[in-house]
Amino acid sequence: MKKPLILVTNDDGIFAGGIRTLIEIAQELGEVFVMAPDAPQSATGHAITIREPLRFQRAKEFPDLEAYKCSGTPVDCVKLARGVLLKDRKIDLCVSGINHGSNASTNIIYSGTMSAAMEASMEGINSIGFSLLDFSEDADFSQSRDYVKSIMEHVLENGMTNGKLLNVNIPKLPKAELKGIKICRQADAKWEEVFEEKKDPMGQSYYWLTGKFANFDERPDIDIKALQGGYISIVPAMHDLTNEAAMEPLKVMEGIVI
């Protein structure tokens, strides 16, 4: 049987530990093609580069692989891989990550990792974004390695029903304490921002965005709750943002005639 073609990307950049683990796992499951940013691109959301051209080059970090680093955003990486180097090939799976830090709940909206996976899913490619709830550079990705592999295997073997995109978040726990997997909904939590004001040598103010994540969502099947309970959360996600429930009450506006 022909090996599946797996596109690997991330938002922390080609140098990050998380993508190294993901590449190793992907190599056990198929033919691997890597296109990742040449610099950190966290929190770039679904940004694309339209006012500057894009460049890419072989990634010397992975000399034995078809691996490239790109000057653009995570979404640019997926577009470039598909549109240039893999133009005539079918991509069987796109995996993004493993992100250093949570993309659970509304973090999905800001996440470059998840935006890259969403971009591939919009092209009909089954896509999974993986994130470990550990921001540190030397986060230990080995604890959840077997789960990450099983999730990828499951999708490669069974495909997906009614969708193309998964948001997988993994608690920062030793392997023995990981309780399993829960299929969840996106928690309606949010960042409560605090701006730290500083003065530059000219006396002008500048501001650092900081804040803490606060959850008031009490539904039993939200991702944050699963993670707190020691489970890996999987939220099936989509790019159709239509708020169905709001359509009918808005129809009164169709009566506005100028």
Question: Given the complex with its own copies, which of 19 and 151 has the nearer CB atom?
Answer: 151
Question: Given the complex with its own copies, which of 2 and 190 has the nearer CB atom?
Answer: 190
Question: Given the complex with its own copies, which of 52 and 64 has the nearer CB atom?
Answer: 52
Range 95-124, binding its own copies (CB under 8 A): 106, 108-110, 115, 118, 122-123
Amino acid letter, residue 28: E
End-to-end CA distance of the chain: 63
Binding mask of the shown chain, residues 33 to 52, with x at each position contacting its own copies by CB under 8 A: -------x-xxxxxxxxxx-
Instruction: Say whether residue 240 binds its own copies (CB under 8 A).
Output: yes
Smallest gap from Cβ 219 to its own copies, in A, equals: 11
Around Cβ 20, how many Cβ atoms within 10 Å? 15
How far are the Cα atoms of 100, 152, 225, 241 from residue 17, in angstroms, in the given order?
8, 19, 27, 32
Amino acid letter, residue 107: N
Residue in 64, 205, 214, 220 binding its own copies, rule: CB under 8 A: 205
- Identify the bridge partners of residue 235 per DSSP, sorted by sequence position: 167
Range 142-201, binding its own copies (CB under 8 A): 146-147, 150-151, 154, 158, 160-163, 165-167, 175, 178, 180-183, 185-186, 188, 190, 193-195, 197-198
Of 151, 149, 150, 143, give the one whose Cα is nearest residue 167.
151
Alpha helices in 123-222 (DSSP H): 145-158
Instruction: Say whether residue 202 binds its own copies (CB under 8 A).
Output: no
